Amino acid sequence: MSWTDDRVETLKRMWGEGQSASAIAKELGGVTRNAVIGKVHRLGLSNRNEEPEPAPAPEPDKKAGKKPAAAPRPEPQAEAGPATPEPASEEPATQAAFTPPPRRQIVPAGQPLPPQPSANEISPEALASVREVEKKARKLTLMELTERTCKWPIGDPATEKFWFCGLPSQPGKPYCEAHVGVAFQPMSSRRDRRR
DNA sequence: CCCTGATTCGC
DNA sequence: GCGAATCAGG
């Protein structure tokens, strides 16, 4: 595989989205995450920092002037501490709106993702099983999910009381054993279950 | 152990 | 330019 234009484009896009190198490598296929990282660096990407990188060459120049040998390096002025953040102009508090530009990771690693049991009809055994398992949940956040962690959502997404199961997922499955049990039910077992 | 990016260096 | 091996960290 080689870095064709559109592959590079995908790389740039995903890297910009905060995707991990391994995720990008998987998406592209035929390359390892090392290759991706290497390319990212060669492209000069990598620095997510909008930091324009200070004086590229503060060289005072001046014709004829040979360097006096050692540059004194005046030690950068004190970094603004938590003191006096207000420059001078006062913004109406109403439209304060500071934006956290470093948007990162919109979609986790996995694929489809969350079902959520809702008010389903599931076998009592399986229900009991998940309740038990959810006590052992690793309570991972969205960003912490990987291909081998159970992506079963637990709790209310609208509250702080929300996390993902995170237990080891079944090989090739998005969920752990217990959650696979309730997520993938044979049609046969779903038939006429009255409440 | 799983994962992350960063760097090195032979190719 | 490329990327495996390695490093350094969570």
Domain ranges of chain A: 5-43, 121-194
What pLDDT is stored for residue A70 in this prediction? Answer: 43
Rounded CA-CA distance A99/A96 in Å is 9
pLDDT at A88 over 60: no
pLDDT score recorded for residue A10 = 93
Overall average pLDDT of the A122-143 stretch: 75
Question: Cβ atoms within 10 A of the Cβ of A152, count?
Answer: 28
Is a pLDDT exceeding 90 seen at residue A176?
no
- Give the pLDDT confidence score for residue A186 in this predicted structure: 64
The residue that leads in pLDDT, A85 or A188, is A188
CA A107 / C1′ C3 distance in Å? 27
- Partnered with residue A140 across adjacent β-strands are A164
Q: Which residue is nearest to nucleotide B5 (CA to C1')?
A: A37
Please state, rounded to an integer, the average pLDDT across all residues of chain A. Answer: 68
Give distance CA A36 / C1' B11 (Å).
18
Q: Strand B positions with any atom < 7 Å from protein CB?
A: 2-8
Contact predicate A151/A108, CB 8 Å: yes
Q: Measured from the CB, is A34 under 7 Å from any atom of strand B? A: yes
Q: Work out the end-to-end distance of chain A between its first and last CA atoms, rounded to an integer number of angstroms.
A: 56
Q: Which residue is nearest to nucleotide C4 (CA to C1')?
A: A34
Residue nearest to nucleotide C3 (CA to C1'): A35
State the pLDDT confidence band at A66, using cuts at 50, 70 and 90.
very low
Average pLDDT of the residues in A62-82? 44
Average pLDDT over residues A143-172: 81
Question: What is the C-alpha to C-alpha distance for residues A166 and A144, in angstroms, rounded to an integer?
Answer: 8
Tell me what pLDDT residue A55 has.
Answer: 47
Span A4-51, pLDDT tens digits? 999 999 999 999 888 889 999 988 989 999 999 999 999 988 665 555
Nucleic chain C: which protein residues 35-64 of A have CB below 7 A from it? 35, 37-39, 42
List the single protein residue with the shortest CA to C1' distance from B3. Answer: A146
Distance in Å from C3's C1' to A115's CA comes to 38
pLDDT attached to residue A189: 60
